[in-house]
Structure 1
Amino acid sequence: MKLMFASDIHGSLPATERIITLFEQSGAQWLILLGDLLYHGPRNALPEGYAPAQVAQRLNALASRIIAVRGNCDSEVDQMLLDFPVTAPWQQVLLNEQRLFLTHGHLFDPENLPPLSERDVFVYGHTHIPVAERGEACTLFNPGSVSIPKGGFAPSFGMLNDDVLSIQNLDDCRIIAQVSITP
């Protein structure tokens, strides 16, 4: 299975356009959005190309291929603009041997995990910092932010290709980090 992950778009039209282009080229079955899609939030500066209504329109064109969770900056008003569900605090993708637990990261996080097995993968955003590592309880994966990266990192996104999760630079697709999810 091939999946693409993007988090913390925060209304950036250029970041959205780039993710859509990469998604269309990737051959991924699903685009998984890990929250904070349209609004920049009071703690963040406006991202480049802030245009939430246009971001919603561009994402709506892929509505049937998006799995999304609600971020701390997402609201019911955002759902009114989006043609795919965005209000669930978490989702799950079931693989052959494990599951991907998808959440934004403000309710559950690596310090407050839901019940998971050590074969499972906790997939989250919120921190804007990329993570791809085996934790004590499960594998941890955060694709970083496509629009407002933190910690000195470049804008980034994630891919699951067979059994490898990778984080890639949004500009040149260079791999920043990766982890195998093979049990």
Structure 2
Amino acid sequence: MKIFFISDIHGSLYYLEKAIENYKKEAADFIAILGDELYHGARNDLPKGYNPKGVTELLNKYSDKIIAVRGNCDSEVDEMVLDFPIMSTYSSILYNGKRLFLTHGHIYGEDNIPKLMDGDVLIYGHTHIPVAKKENGIFIINPGSISIPKESNPNSYGILENNIFKIKDLNMNTFKELHI
């Protein structure tokens, strides 16, 4: 199974279209969205190609392939227009004997790691900063943001296949990698 991870779309149809192109090229089975699908939030400038309605339409085409969690900029109104649930604070996926704990990062994250077992994986967004490391037996991963990267990082996404998590820029160049 191959999982494509994106976070912090913030309503950018421009960057979502690039990400979906990469999802297809990667031939991933599922898309995991780590929150902040439609809106930019009060702390962010409008991202390039800001078009929440267009983002909704494009994401809905892939609704049967999407696993999503709620970000701090998401609301119940957003879930009313999306054809997949987004209002859960977290989701867990079992992957090759490991628990993948998916969350946005504003509740659970590096500063508030949930109760996980040794070897489990925390995957979050929110900070817009790519992370791939292991601390205290827990793998900690953030694929960064596809639309509003921070700290001079590239627009990025993650891909998980064969127990290898890669963080790539939108040109599909791997710049972080972690064997989980």
If the length of structure 1 is used for normalisation, what is the TM-score?
0.96
Alpha-carbon distance between aligned partners in 1 of 2:49 and 2:14, rounded to the nearest angstrom:
6
Distance 1:135 1:9 in 2: 27
How far did residue 114 of structure 1 move?
0.7
- What is the aligned partner in structure 1 of residue 113 from structure 2? 113
1:179 alignment partner, SS class? strand
1:180 corresponds to: 179
Asked if structure 2 preserves the Cα contact closer than 8 Å seen for 1:132 and 1:179, the reply is: yes
Deviation at 1:96, TM superposition (A): 2.6
SS in 2 for 1:139: strand
- The one-letter code sitting in structure 2 at the alignment partner of 1:126 is H
- 8 Å Cα contact 1:100-1:121 kept in structure 2: yes
Pair 1:168 & 2:174 matched: no
Aligned residues: 180
Q: Are 2:96 and 2:163, in contact at CA under 8 Å, matched by a contact in 1?
A: no
Alignment of 1:141-152 (within 5 A): 141-152=141-152
Question: Alpha-carbon deviation of 1:25?
Answer: 1.9
Q: Secondary structure at the match of 1:146?
A: coil
Q: Indicate conservation of the 8 Å contact 1:7/1:157, yes or no.
A: yes
* Secondary structure at the counterpart of residue 106 of structure 2: coil
Aligned to 1:75: 75
> What CA distance in whole angstroms lies between the structure 1 residues aligned with 2:33 and 2:113?
19
Give the corresponding residue for 1:54: 54
1:118 CA displacement: 1.8
Q: Report Cα offsets for 1:68-112 as digits up to 9, x if no partner.
A: 000000001111110000101100110232110000000101121
The 5 Å alignment of 1:8-27 reads: 8-27=8-27
Structure 2 match to 1:39: 39
1:158 touches 1:168 (CA, 8 Å); kept in 2?
yes
> The residue matched to 1:112 in structure 2 has which SS?
coil
Q: How far is the alpha carbon of 1:176 from its aligned partner?
A: 1.2
Q: Contact 1:97–1:119 (CA<8 Å) still a contact in 2?
A: no
Distance 1:124 1:118 in 2: 18
**Which SS does the other structure have where 2:108 is aligned?**
coil
TM (normalized to structure 2)?
0.98
RMSD: 0.7
Runs of 4+ in 1 over 2 A off after TM superposition: none
Q: Deviation string for 1:18-49 (max 9, x for gaps)?
A: 11111122121110000000000000000000
CA offsets, 1:122-178, max 9 Å, x none? 0000000000111124000000000000011010000001110010001x1111101
